[in-house]
Amino acid sequence: MKLKNFLVIAVMAVMVSSCMSYEKLQYVNEGKGSDYRYDRKSKTIKPFDELYIKVLSTDEKTAAIFANESRSSSQTDLQLSSYTVNENGYILFPFAGKILVKDLNLEEAADKIQQAVSQYLLNTAVRVRFINNTITVLGAVGKEGAYDFTGDKLTVFEAIGLAGGVSPYGDRKKVTIIRAVDSKITYNEVNLADKNVVESRFYYIEPNDVVVVKPLRAITHTFQNNTYSTGLATISTLIAVLLFIKTY
């Protein structure tokens, strides 16, 4: 009986060790939460950003010029032209020449480009968008990699969702966001288990951010893949021993 009791306890221990805490698998399960109003500022244009710029005009000739340029420089259905902001914050735009757009948001940039173009072309309107916004998600997630998005920002949950979510061995309480601020690299930690994460100024991910999800503990890739199979094999062996003892 003592041996059988010991084996039963051993089986239970293996089963428990193979399971992950329910709380550790949840998002926003800590804190009281609040109705937080986040004052999200619009992203401003920086050197080496890429912009899609489309010029609209009631004049057919003007519209045709920019429509042809859009088709030749872009393969998207939006038929927008792509311009790279140089290291000094300028773009080189047809007719208007060099235009300083550094530190402007998209609306301000559109107004400035429209004013510059209107000196040469009448009845025009300008639309500006960011393109090639990319973030990188690493660590204990479904699929590590670099991911593109079309907006100027997205939430940390959306960023991790692009990578397939946090894996069962990822620590939702320790997510590091690496961000370049004024030519300096900063490391910032957020807790996805805390409801008040929405109040963090790092709740919104910016282009070129790197999101790193730390593991719950030091586990090798091989161990992660074999945890359940090893546990099941151990349980099967112990059950066979129990049946053998009962028979004899």
* Verdict on whether the full-model pTM lies above 0.85: no
Query: What is the DSSP annotation of 53-107?
Result: EEEEESSHHHHHHHHHHHHHH--STT--EEEE--TTSEEEETTTEEEE-TT--HH
CA distance 11 to 239: 8
* Domain 134-215 in the same topology as domain 50-131: no
130-168 confidence digits (pLDDT tens): 887 889 999 999 999 999 887 777 899 999 999 999 999
**How far is 20 from 38, CA to CA, in rounded Å?**
34
| pLDDT per residue as tens digits for the range 197-238 | 998 989 999 888 999 999 986 554 444 455 555 555 666 666
Q: Going along 118-182, which residue ranges are E strands? A: 124-131, 133-139, 145-149, 154-155, 170-181
| Contact call for residues 194 and 239 (beta carbons, < 8 A) | no
The segment with the largest mean pLDDT, out of 68-77, 139-148, 181-190, is 139-148
**Cα–Cα distance for residue pair 248/240, rounded to 1 Å:** 13
Domain locations in the chain as residue ranges: 2-21+221-247, 50-131, 134-215
DSSP state of 132: -
- CATH fold, domain 134-215, is Outer membrane lipoprotein wza fold like (3.10.560)
Q: Are strands 133-139 and 210-215 parallel, antiparallel or unpaired?
A: parallel
Predicted local confidence at residue 131, as pLDDT: 83
Quick one: DSSP state of residue 157?
H
**How far apart, in whole angstroms, are the C-alpha atoms of residue 195 and residue 199?**
9
DSSP state of 43: P
**What is the spatial distance between Cα 111 and Cα 65, in angstroms, rounded to a whole number?**
20
Q: pLDDT band for position 75 (50/70/90)?
A: very low
Q: Which fold has domain 50-131?
A: wza like fold (3.30.1950)
